[in-house]
Amino acid sequence: MATMKDVARAAGVSTYTVSAALSGSAYVSPELKARVSAAVAALGYERNSMAQSLKRGMSSLIGLIVSDVTNPFFTEFVASIQNEARQAGYSVLLGVSGHDLDSEEELLGLMRSHQAAGTILCPAGGERDYPPARLPNGKMKVVAADNAAPELGVDTVTLDNLLAAEMAVRHLLSLGHRRIGTVAGFAHQHVSRQRLQGYGAALQGAGLDADPALISHGNFRIEDARAACKRLLGLRERPSALFVANNLMLIGVMQALSDLGVRVPQDISVCSIDDFPWASAFQPALTVVRQPIAAMAAAALSCLRSRLEGDRQPVRHLVFAPELVIRQSSAAIG
Amino acid sequence: MATMKDVARAAGVSTYTVSAALSGSAYVSPELKARVSAAVAALGYERNSMAQSLKRGMSSLIGLIVSDVTNPFFTEFVASIQNEARQAGYSVLLGVSGHDLDSEEELLGLMRSHQAAGTILCPAGGERDYPPARLPNGKMKVVAADNAAPELGVDTVTLDNLLAAEMAVRHLLSLGHRRIGTVAGFAHQHVSRQRLQGYGAALQGAGLDADPALISHGNFRIEDARAACKRLLGLRERPSALFVANNLMLIGVMQALSDLGVRVPQDISVCSIDDFPWASAFQPALTVVRQPIAAMAAAALSCLRSRLEGDRQPVRHLVFAPELVIRQSSAAIG
DNA sequence: GTGAAAGCGCTAACAG
DNA sequence: CTGTTAGCGCTTTCAC
């Protein structure tokens, strides 16, 4: 593989000139620039970004850690980040923690060891799981997204999860439902608790008492949600509506409902958080609260970039507004 | 950030000893090893893998280029690769080409410039799009997966796409369908053509002539497939069954069918390639031909690894068997 | 404007 | 078995 030295020799200039011409950092005469370009093309030269990063003490890599790519929210988040990052000249190092904190920590270490300029982390844990100052320890900047508590001590980009849940539940209430169950996420995760709190707040706002029996944890997983849904439907007093805390669990819920022969929306109304391609193709089309994923991804990246450029402002918390998309899985109580 | 020198000083040994102890490459006395570990822990040292890669001339990075992460096939493929790669000590650099050849080439260049040990490429183009020897040019090994023609000159890991299509169409034939339409992928992609060929072969095997009007291109995209499906249903002689060439297009097809008020499977049977989580939750549950994604990912990675370890065997083409999963979207002709 | 030269942190060949 | 040392390819002062 050709090195910069080879290019310099071929172009009859010094390595400095090649470096400067390539990165446009300093003025290089048009003529020399042309000679350099010609030599680069002739040799098929490609800059060794390892050497560059080593010298600069920072790479053009961005870490991206999610708990589960398979979750359509993260899928789209990853797609958006990768897209934006590339446009900004960064490459993305993907890590999947599988909702495991140790794995997440290992991944963070990997990102650091690869000298990632920064990392966008979608944390797997709740605020309790992160000892103070564990995250912002070193020169690698991190911004947390999605399941990110303000207590983490880093910039965060999140949905207004409390409001999202409230919107979903208030929608169900407005259709006349009074007995509304919820399939909630991992109890220790910040998003889950926010959404659960929003659920409670909406019920309370309607003058209803929260019945603990109506809360069933599906742990953000298909199988667990299936079981959780069956628990809810096994209740003596069945709920007439279900609020599901994310899209993956919605799959499990719809499977369970189908298994039990319960019709949507005739027998039960369903509303969940997270929109995704199948939601509109599904029969019935699914009523959901949508997250502005692309905007959140863009914000996370631009926040990270501004930190990389030396922004020393106090920690920022960006919160995005959810949007209710009413389709056919929710209907007035029969 | 602590360097190896710092660790060496703290442990009272030379940098060589630290290096050897850390990588376990040579014998280091247990006592020194312990002193090194202690120093590492005390300083919070993390090895700079940039410097390591620069020195070694090869990094522990693996490139992974897909055309669209959002496609559930790729989503799972990416998840599997990242999982396996990490276990093998590699980190994955993700690239998304968006079905664009220029973008794909740029990404390949990026992987090279990051000194990726190898790259797993899911090509966006057909064999025509790759001039001979464009792929295997240099020390970075590449293995192609999914839409990979043998002509590429690199190891490939693919589904038996021809057979997959045949299985789907033969299944529809066995249910009595005679007028079977297909929503096909990009005409220039290798997978699309293989699947189209399988469709033709199955029809021919049943003594049926292929009617060109029954072939509509959905370009592996939701919106295009929706339009393609509507074209098919606008035919004077409507098909009684549809073979859809991938999962993303299936979304478009189901949307179109729902728009038109056509019931599945009463009015039309549907069978597609690619299984995915929603297929079983959908009403009706969808009949599909499943790809063994995890096995394909594992094969792609182990193939790449063996090349990295110096395997000089001639180019290999690994082909995987599809599996028909009969659910409720296909039924005997009424 | 351009060139020479000094490292970035690490590995491995070589000498002890 | 352990220490010394010469670079990997690049950026960037510092002199010209």
Distance separating the N- and C-terminal Cα atoms of chain A: 72
Cis peptide before B136 (omega within 30 of 0): no
Tell me: the pLDDT tens digits for A177-206?
A: 999 999 999 999 999 999 999 999 999 999
What does pLDDT average to over chain B?
A: 93
Which pair of tokens denotes residue B44?
């919070």
Tell me: the pLDDT tens digits for A10-34?
A: 888 888 899 888 888 778 888 888 8
β-partners of residue A290 are A323
Contact check, Cβ <8 Å, B76/A70? yes
Q: What is the pLDDT of residue B137?
A: 58
Phi-psi region of A138 (alpha: psi -120 to 50; beta: other; left: phi over 0): left
Contact check, Cβ <8 Å, B93/A96? no
Strand C–CB B57 distance below 7 A: no
Tell me: the pLDDT tens digits for A48-94?
A: 888 998 888 889 999 999 999 999 999 999 999 999 999 999 999 99
* HEC sequence for B238-280: CCCEEEECCHHHHHHHHHHHHHHCCCCCCCCEEEEECCCHHHH
What does pLDDT average to over chain A?
A: 94
Residue B132 burial by CB count (10 A; 0-12/13-18/19+): exposed, middle or buried?
A: exposed
pLDDT at A310 > cutoff 90: no
Which pair of tokens denotes residue B220?
């592996």
Strands (E), chain B: 61-66, 91-96, 118-121, 141-145, 155-159, 180-184, 215-217, 241-244, 269-273, 287-290, 317-320, 323-325
Burial per residue of B213-236, b for 16 or more beta-carbon CB atoms within 10 angstroms, e otherwise: ebbbbbbbbbebbbbbbbbbbeee
Q: Of A194, A161, A168, which is closest to residue A270 (Cα–Cα)?
A: A168
Q: What percent of chain A lies above the pLDDT cut of 70?
A: 98
Which pair of tokens denotes residue B207?
């003594």
Contact check, Cβ <8 Å, B78/A94? yes
Q: What is the pLDDT of residue A29?
A: 87
Strand D–CB B16 distance below 7 A: yes
Q: What is the pLDDT of residue A133?
A: 63
Strand D–CB B54 distance below 7 A: yes
The beta-carbon neighbor of A75 closest among B47, B69, B139 is B69
Which pair of tokens denotes residue B234?
């606008």
B275 and B73 Cβ atoms separated by less than 8 Å? no
Q: What is the pLDDT of residue B212?
A: 96
Strand D–CB B213 distance below 7 A: no
CA-to-C1' span, A17 to D15 (A): 16
Amino acid at A29: S
Tell me: the pLDDT tens digits for B42-92?
A: 888 888 888 888 888 889 999 999 999 999 999 999 999 999 999 999 999
Rounded-to-integer distance, Cα A301 and Cα A280, Å: 29
Q: Of A150, A160, A91, A131, which is closest to residue A301 (Cα–Cα)?
A: A91
Strands (E), chain A: 61-66, 91-96, 118-121, 141-145, 155-159, 180-184, 215-217, 241-244, 269-273, 287-290, 317-320, 323-325
**Residue carrying the six token digits 């028909």:** B324
B15, closest nucleotide (Cα–C1'): D3
Long-range contacts of A262-268 (CB under 8 A, 24+ apart): A262/A233, A264/A329, A265/A328, A265/A329, A265/A330, A265/A331, A266/A331, A266/A334, A268/A238, A268/A239, A268/A240, A268/A241, A268/A242
Contact check, Cβ <8 Å, B254/A281? yes
- Looking at residues A280-285, what average pLDDT do you find? 89
Q: Of A95, A141, A98, A70, which is closest to residue A301 (Cα–Cα)?
A: A141
Q: How many CB atoms lie within 10 A of CB A197?
A: 14
Residues of chain A with Cβ-Cβ distance to B258 below 8 Å are 281, 283, 285
B322 and B160 Cβ atoms separated by less than 8 Å? yes
Q: Of A199, A256, A261, A265, which is closest to residue A228 (Cα–Cα)?
A: A256
Query: CA–CA distance from A95 to each of A63, A190, A319, B81, B147 (Å)?
Result: 7, 20, 24, 11, 25
Q: What percent of chain A lies above the pLDDT cut of 90?
A: 74
Tell me how far the alpha carbon of residue A11 is from its chain's centroid.
Answer: 46
Contact check, Cβ <8 Å, B277/A251? yes
pLDDT at B25 > cutoff 90: no
CA-to-C1' span, A84 to D12 (A): 30
Q: What is the pLDDT of residue B238?
A: 96
pLDDT at B334 > cutoff 80: no
Q: What is the pLDDT of residue B28?
A: 82
**Distance (Å) from the alpha carbon of B254 to chain A's nearest alpha carbon:** 6
pLDDT at A137 > cutoff 70: no
Strand D–CB A53 distance below 7 A: no
A96: three-class secondary structure by DSSP: strand
Rounded-to-integer distance, Cα B307 and Cα B188, Å: 29
The beta-carbon neighbor of A47 closest among B91, B113, B248 is B113
Structure confidence at residue A226 as a pLDDT band (50, 70, 90)? very high
Tell me: the pLDDT tens digits for B156-214?
A: 999 999 999 999 999 999 999 999 999 999 999 999 999 999 999 999 999 999 899 99
Global confidence as pTM: 0.95
Residue B333 burial by CB count (10 A; 0-12/13-18/19+): exposed, middle or buried?
A: middle
Sheet with A180-184: list strands edge to edge. A215-217, A180-184, A241-244, A269-273, A287-290, A323-325
**Residue carrying the six token digits 């010609």:** A38
The beta-carbon neighbor of A281 closest among B92, B112, B251 is B251
**Distance (Å) from the alpha carbon of A321 to chain B's nearest alpha carbon:** 23
Strand D–CB A55 distance below 7 A: yes
CA-to-C1' span, B62 to C5 (A): 34
Which positions on chain C have an atom < 7 Å from some protein CB? Answer: 1-5, 7-13
Residue B195 CB partners (closer than 8 Å, separation 6+): B161, B162, B164, B165, B184, B185, B245, B273
Which residue, among B81, B278, B282, B286, would best test binding to A if mutated, counting the most A CBs under 10 Å from its CB? B278
Least confident of A42-46, A102-106, B219-223, B314-318: A42-46
A255 and A226 Cβ atoms separated by less than 8 Å? yes
pLDDT at A46 > cutoff 90: no
Cis peptide before B277 (omega within 30 of 0): no
Tell me: the pLDDT tens digits for A153-175?
A: 999 999 999 999 999 999 999 99
Pick out residues 3-32 of chain B having their CB under 7 A from any atom of nucleic acid strand C.
Answer: 3-5, 15-16, 19, 22-23, 25
The beta-carbon neighbor of B69 closest among A50, A79, A277 is A79
Pick out residues 22-41 of chain A having their CB under 7 A from any atom of nucleic acid strand D.
Answer: 22-23, 25
